[in-house]
Structure 1
Amino acid sequence: MQKQNKTEVNWTLWIGLLILVLTELINSKVWTLPKALYIILIASSIIVLMVGLAFDVKKFLDLRKENNNNRRINYK
């Protein structure tokens, strides 16, 4: 069985970072956002980042479990 080396981009993390950076840039340079909108945008970017990290952790744990199973099969 061949191992597949795929590099997958987690777009959720990039979208969360983009929301966070754009919110900070808009709030500091162009105009000041209303406080409620600013809090909502920051909270949504944090939630998006947490979801992205959760998917990354799940993918890492699945790969680790698969590698452990492959190792057991190879030793038998």
Structure 2
Amino acid sequence: MVSVNNLKELRKVRGMPLSELSRRTGLSRVSLRKIENNEVNPKLTSALVIAREFNKSVEEIFFIDVVNQD
């Protein structure tokens, strides 16, 4: 299974730099960058904090890519 997210797109639509998202969520810029680039999956608590910041459900930001599965 391949997990993906649209975090970077949501952030760009808001014109929010990674440093601002970091400040607002309390998550490090390094962690957020790794999450955005699909290098790591966020912990549930991190996903909830990010979703709350964008007023979205976790499923609207983080999902499984069923089309491009290996």
TM-score (norm 1): 0.28
Kindly name which structure, 1 or 2, has the bigger radius of gyration based on alpha carbons. Answer: 1
Which has a greater percent of strand? 2
